[in-house]
Structure 1
Amino acid sequence: MKVLVPVKRVVDFNVKVRVKSDGSGVDIANVKMSMNPFDEIAVEEATRLKEGGKVTEVVAVSCGVTQCQETLRTAMAIGADRGILVETDTELQPLAVAKLLKAVADKEQPQLIILGKQAIDDDCNQTGQMLAALLGWPQATFASKVMLEDGKATVTREVDGGLETIALTLPAVVTTDLRLNEPRYVTLPNIMKAKKKQLDTVKPADLGVDVAPRLKTLKVSEPPKRSAGITVPDAAALVAKLKNEAKVI
């Protein structure tokens, strides 16, 4: 069984992002970049399925600039067997990424696609759902447990009311949540081995996909700063301020 794992290059989660002075976007110049944490969980899960004998090959795929090769090398250091980069300088939106991944899936013919539920830069939470719709495959989002058996995937997913367990007929699309697993520490020997693994590069035009943006960002701004808190002498004063000033009760 082959598993396809899309991974995205994003600003590292430890970095405090800054908005550009002209409000056109986030400043990523000289900023540390890394793999999207939810995608890292997806790579780890695919690797564990392979180690458990359920999967024979794990293929990592990324869409974006040339530097995304670093993200793919990280995925291969975790356990992916090879990587595919769909290289483009165009700003990719979720629908464009889903179309690119569909084209890659049509070529690779995986039985399972595992990807992060969302990216921490735009928080769209759309790509997995769009990909499943384009492929016509069943999907399970927000997965906290994945089991493969007899051509089916049993997925426990996190919903507002608790946990929901569903069975999917493969091929299928699964998006990962935080509690699915804890990604392993990437060791130096595995990083060196990853440098020798196959990494193919294609262009969107090679896949016959138009990646022109459909949405236009008008302005990006920082959230308003919180005002300083105050202390009150007693509960009665607190209630009065909540009622008369904050007007929340």
Structure 2
Amino acid sequence: MKILVPVKRVVDYNVKVRVKPDQSGVDLANVKMSMNPFCEIAVEEAIRMKEKGLAEEIVVISIGPTQAQETIRTALAMGADRGILIQTDERVEPLAVAKLLAKVVEEESPELVMLGKQAIDDDSNATGQMLAALLGWPQATFASAVEKEDGSLKVTREIDGGLQTLSVSLPAVVTSDLRLNEPRYASLPNIMKAKRKPIDTKSPDDYGVDISPRLEVIKVSEPPKRKGGVKVETVAELVDKLKNEAGVI
């Protein structure tokens, strides 16, 4: 089984982002970038499936600037076999990403596309679902456990009421949740080996996909600073403050 794992280069989750002075977006100058945490979990799960003998090859793909090669190298150091970079400096929205991934799926013919449920920069949580719709494949989102069965996957996902178990036939699209696993750290020898693994570089034009944005960003602003809390003596006083001061009830 071949597994395709899309990964995204985002601002590191430990970094406090800053808004540009003109409020056109987030300031990325001199900011540490890393692999999206949900994507990292998807890579780890694919590697674990390969270690169990359930997969023969793991192909990692990223869409973004030249620097996204670093993100691919991280996945290769973890244990992926090869990488593909669709290079563009434009902002790529989820639908365009899904269309590009659909073209790559046609070329690579994987049995499973494993990707993070969302990216921590835009929180769109839509690429996996759009990709499954374009391919006409079954999908299992927010996976917290994945088991391989004969010709299918048993996927456990978290819902409001508890846990839901699905059986999806292959080929399929699965998106990973935080509790699926804990990604490994790449060892120094593997990091050195990853530098020699191949990365194919292509462009959106190679696939004939228009990545022009469909959405317009009007303004990006920081959230208002939180005010200090107060202590109340009784429930009646709390209700009074919520009603007359905060105006939420």
**Normalised by the shorter chain, which TM-score bucket?**
over 0.9
* Correspondence list, 1:1-249, <5 A: 1-232=1-232, 234-249=234-249
Question: Following the alignment from structure 1 to structure 2, what is the Cα–Cα distance between the partners of residues 25 and 44?
Answer: 31
Shift of 1:237: 3.6
Instruction: Give the aligned residue type for 2:126.
Output: Q
Moved more, 222-231 or 233-242: 233-242
Per-residue displacement from partner, 1:76-107 (whole Å, max 9, x unpaired)? 01110000000111110000100110111100
Per-residue displacement from partner, 1:175-227 (whole Å, max 9, x unpaired)? 00000000001111110011111110011111111111111111111111112
Task: Report the secondary structure of 1:245's partner residue.
Answer: helix
- For structure 2, the 5+ residue unaligned runs are none
Per-residue displacement from partner, 1:97-130 (whole Å, max 9, x unpaired)? 0011011110000000000000000000000000
Question: Following the alignment from structure 1 to structure 2, what is the Cα–Cα distance between the partners of residues 149 and 236?
Answer: 56
CA RMSD of aligned residues (A): 1.2
* TM-score normalised by L of structure 2: 0.97
Instruction: Give the aligned residue type for 1:230.
Output: V
Q: How many residues align?
A: 249
Shift of 1:232: 4.1
Instruction: Give the aligned residue type for 1:147.
Output: E
Shift of 1:246: 2.3
Moved over 6 A (4+): none
Instruction: Give the aligned residue type for 1:56.
Output: E
Question: Following the alignment from structure 1 to structure 2, what is the Cα–Cα distance between the partners of residues 10 and 85?
Answer: 15
- Percent identity between matched residues is 70
Shift of 1:151: 1.2
